[in-house]
Amino acid sequence: MRSKIVAGNWKMNKNLAETEALLSELSAKLPNTEAEVMVAPTFVNLTGAISNLEGSTIEVIAQNMHFAKSGAYTGEISAGMLVNIGIDTVIIGHSERRAYFGETDEILEKKVTAALENNLKVMFCFGEELEDRKSGNHFNVVKSQLKNALFSLNKSAWGNIILAYEPVWAIGTGETASPEQAQEMHAFIRKTITEAYDATVAENVSILYGGSVKPGNAVEIFSKPDVDGGLIGGASLVADDFVAIIKAI
Ligand SMILES: O=C[C@H](O)COP(=O)(O)O
């Protein structure tokens, strides 16, 4: 059975003191929830966050990793290094990595493979650009992103995959996909996985929605049957907003 998940992607925000302050506030206000709650601080604050959350149900996850095991990759972090400090889950394929750091489907496939080989769970992000949606090509784009980076995986690997559908036009823009648009795409994603694998794989994978989720729209988005939670950017940086979104599950 698939899990409900609410994850906060803090992107390049919050220094160590601010990270610890936000985590302390979150811990104090965390509601009882059936959802798995995750936060992704910057690399340099991962160990501080793990210490701060000792004994908490909030999981600290990483925003990115390199596919190589080690070597001359200045500024990069390997899957093994993440595991070594106690990380279990890594975000791969965020649209900002694709857009600003040239991450292609081919690179992302290598990252996914390296993460899984190191027993990391992968939160795989994907989603169409505004032009794709306007031209009606959004389903093809999403299908090809999934196929190129994930469909070479064995069926058994899917137990360690979480999907995060994030239409690029809705990220940080205040413009959210309507609950109906989110449901339509999530159902399409499940159908695509059923065709590539089978219905069991498709039914068991959690598919999160990301893109301007706020306390005011979370209940409606999360109420859709194929939406299993959210990957939250801006609103996860404010404890009360993130808590309200967690409560919406
Ligand atoms: O990873 C999170 C997404 O990019 C969504 O960000 P946002 O909630 O600020 O639109």
pLDDT tens-digit series, residues 74-89: 999 999 999 999 999 9
Q: What is the pLDDT of residue 182?
A: 97
Counting atoms of ligand 1 from 1, which one is nearest the CA of 235?
8
Cα 95 to averaged position of ligand 1 atoms, centre (Å): 10
Tell me if 175 sits within 8 A of 166, measured CB to CB: no
1 has a pLDDT exceeding 90: no
Local structure of residue 2 (DSSP, 8 states): P
**Mode of pairing for the β-strands spanning 36-40 and 161-165:** unpaired
> Is 0.95 topped by the overall pTM?
yes
Taking alpha carbons only, the member of 50, 70, 75, 74 closest to residue 62 is: 50
Q: Is the pLDDT of residue 57 over 90?
A: yes
Measured from the Cα of 214, ligand 1's closest atom is 8
Which residues have C-beta within 8 Å of that of residue 66, sequence separation ≥ 6?
Answer: 73, 76, 77, 78, 79, 111, 114
pLDDT for position 16? 97
**Which CATH number covers residue 89?**
3.20.20.70
The ipTM assigned to this model is: 0.99
Is 231 close to ligand 1, i.e. is its CB under 6 Å away? Answer: yes
**Residue tagged 């940080």 (tokens):** 172
Indicate the average pLDDT of the chain.
Answer: 97
Ligand 1 pocket check for 212: Cβ under 6 Å? yes
Q: What's the 237 CA to ligand 1 centre distance in angstroms? A: 11
- Total structural domains within the chain: 1
What is the arithmetic mean of pLDDT over 169-187? 92
Query: 43: domain range?
Result: 5-247
pLDDT for res 171: 87
**Is 11 annotated to bind ligand?**
yes
Position in ligand 1 atom list of the atom nearest CA 11:
1
- The predicted structure's pLDDT at residue 176: 85
User: Looking at the predicted structure, is the pLDDT value of residue 174 above 90?
Assistant: no
Residue 211 annotated as lining a ligand binding site: no
